[in-house]
């Protein structure tokens, strides 16, 4: 086969163009730190990268959800702690009032503090997080207590004693991982606050009547089926706090799991997209050497002028 000057020129130009393209690709990889700069460079790498980024976005959202869940649970724990402290003070006052050495005036003074504690507990029951009432079940825009009374919207008056409607007892769930939702409110807290409020009203009435026997019965020892005593409600508050604490521990474990998952996904994303600098730089140097050799050889083979050809 006859090899012409034009064939040599075309081959050299084609090889040089290929060499420039490869060096450009390696240069882009070194500059960007990524194996590809557009999906068409490697569709498989691009699709995997999208999947890994989706997972990382989910992790970020779950972390935000966990922060919100912690706010709810921390606020619930703090509120129930305040109720427990308030009941401890109520118990002290009732023990003091049960003493027969107290006069009716003395018990009226104790009643004043009891009434203030009752109002404080009602305020605690209306605790809000991010403008949402945390003890009103899924009706987070409705306060549990209104004007010193349980909100009628949250009470089913068709039964005696009144029981809270389903919406109040239902759970407020927040997704903290794929397919995992955690209840962040205390579904039974509304009922607990109602019982505490009823007890406080009973204590206030007993003090107003200055009935030492009735006051003593409020501490404990009532017949089965009667209203909760102070000791019983204290235990129920502790049970509610224990439940919140258990969920706080669960949240902490989910945080650790998310952190581990984020590290794993980030590692997979890096292995999928990040360039191996040592390999890329080595290839760059190799192609530069080949390119320089091609230019040198091409300059010797290709006759640049008619005079060079004749000579």
- pLDDT at res. 66: 93
**CATH architecture under which domain 49-268 falls:** Up-down Bundle (1.20)
What is the model's pLDDT at position 56?
A: 93
Where are the strands (E) in 99-221, listed by range?
Answer: 128-129, 132-133, 145-146, 149-150, 155-156, 163-164, 173-177, 180-183
State the pLDDT at residue 224. Answer: 40
Nearest C-alpha neighbor of 204 from the set 195, 216, 215: 215
**CB neighbours (10 Å) of residue 138?**
16
pLDDT value, residue 5: 67
Question: In whole angstroms, what is the distance from residue 239 CA to residue 245 CA?
Answer: 10
pLDDT beneath 70: ranges in the chain: 1, 3-5, 152-170, 187, 220-227, 301-311
Q: What is the pLDDT of residue 162?
A: 38
Burial of 45 (0-12, 13-18, 19+ CB in 10 A): middle
- The tokens for 112 are 């004043």
* β-pair partners for 180: 177
DSSP assignment, residue 274? B
What is the per-residue pLDDT for 151? 74
pTM as predicted: 0.73
| Closest by Cα among 284, 270, 293, 245 to 28 | 284
pLDDT of residue 65: 92
Domains of the chain, residue spans: 49-268, 276-311
How many angstroms separate the CA atoms of 72 and 81, rounded?
Answer: 14
Query: Which token pair is 297?
Result: 């050889």
pLDDT at 42: 82
pLDDT given at position 262:
92
What is the token pair recorded at 109?
Answer: 């003074």
Quote the CA–CA distance of 60 and 53 in Å, as a whole number. Answer: 11
């Amino acid at each position: 086969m006859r090899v012409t000057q034009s064939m040599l020129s075309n081959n050299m130009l084609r090889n040089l163009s290929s060499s420039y393209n490869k060096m450009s690709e390696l240069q882009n990889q070194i500059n960007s730190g990524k194996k590809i700069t557009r999906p068409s460079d490697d569709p498989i790498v691009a699709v995997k990268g999208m999947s890994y980024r989706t997972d990382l976005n989910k992790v970020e959202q779950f972390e935000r959800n966990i922060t919100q869940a912690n706010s709810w649970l921390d606020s619930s724990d703090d509120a129930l702690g305040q109720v427990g402290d308030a009941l401890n003070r109520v118990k002290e006052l009732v023990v003091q009032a049960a003493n027969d050495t107290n006069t009716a005036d003395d018990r009226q003074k104790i009643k004043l503090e009891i009434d203030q504690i009752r109002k404080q507990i009602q305020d605690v029951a209306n605790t809000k997080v991010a403008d949402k009432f945390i003890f009103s079940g899924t009706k987070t825009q409705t306060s549990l207590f209104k004007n010193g009374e349980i909100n009628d919207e949250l009470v089913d008056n068709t039964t005696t004693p009144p029981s809270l409607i389903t919406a109040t007892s239902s759970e407020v769930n927040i997704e903290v991982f794929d397919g995992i939702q955690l209840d962040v409110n205390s579904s039974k807290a509304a009922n607990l606050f109602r019982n505490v409020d009823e007890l406080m009203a009973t204590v206030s009435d007993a003090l107003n009547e200055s009935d030492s026997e009735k006051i003593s019965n409020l501490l404990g020892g009532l017949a089965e089926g009667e209203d909760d005593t102070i000791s019983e409600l204290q235990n129920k508050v502790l049970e509610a706090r224990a439940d919140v604490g258990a969920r706080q521990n669960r949240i902490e474990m989910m945080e650790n799991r998310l952190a581990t998952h984020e590290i794993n996904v980030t590692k997979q994303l890096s292995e999928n997209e990040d360039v191996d600098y040592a390999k890329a730089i080595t290839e760059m140097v190799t192609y530069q050497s080949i390119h320089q050799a091609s230019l040198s050889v091409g300059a010797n083979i290709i006759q640049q002028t008619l005079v060079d050809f004749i000579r």
